[in-house]
Amino acid sequence: MCGSLCDAVLEQSGSAEALADLARSNLLLVPLDRRGKWYRYHHLFRDMLRAELDRMEPELIPVLLRRAAAWCVRNDLPESALEYSMAAGDVDTVADLTGRLVVPTYQQGRVTTVQRWFRWLQDRGEIGKHPMTAVLASVVSAVTGRPTEAERWADIVDRWQFGDGARPDDPPAEAWAAVVRAVL
């Protein structure tokens, strides 16, 4: 965490100074850089704080997570934004960020991470609303030797493409859907 992230989540100022004070007093907060901008805290401390928030104001948790995700998007940290959005249950943001991150993450060899994102969306039953994400899931499944998964994802794309005459146009998804059919 950093001061500006905490400021954005809490919608107040002064977090950088508070973090620096906590780090100096050695209260379970450790600086991660020499400038004292980024910090981490002990996981047990995090668990205690989260349990307290769950007990006192559980409805505030998704709000705070969405604020953190928005800050990460503004500060060019899309993967962190995706993780915060998953924790907040924000399917649309997760689908959008997944679409942006799949190719570079796959190119880094992080196939398991990409598959986790796809599974998360599928488990929420919302993947049909995001055809490009389903297309990418089918392509990744095909090129990683998972033909059954590739077909399952392609069926979702087909239902989107051919099952809903009133759907909005999405030329990139249409083009990629053709690629998926050719690959399969």
pLDDT tens track for 9-47 = 999 999 999 988 888 887 788 889 888 899 998 888 889
> Is residue 167 over pLDDT 80?
no
DSSP element (H, E) containing 31: strand 29-31
Q: Where are the alpha helices (DSSP H) in 36-130?
A: 43-56, 60-74, 78-88, 91-107, 111-123
d(CA 44, CA 56): 18
What confidence category does residue 164 fall into, taking pLDDT thresholds of 50, 70 and 90?
low
Query: Over 80: is that where the pLDDT of 110 sits?
Result: yes
Query: Cβ neighbours of residue 73 under 8 Å, at least 6 residues apart?
Result: 81, 97
pLDDT number for residue 147:
92
pLDDT in tens, 42-51: 888 889 989 9
Which two structure tokens, joined as six digits, stand for 44? 């047990």
Residue 172 pLDDT greater than 70, yes or no: yes
Query: Of the given ranges (25-29, 33-37, 118-122, 180-184), which has the lowest mean pLDDT?
Result: 25-29
What angle (nearest 5°) sits at the alpha carbon of residue 95, between those of residues 9 and 107?
Answer: 100
Euclidean distance between CA atoms 36 and 2, whole angstroms: 9
The predicted model scores a pTM of: 0.84
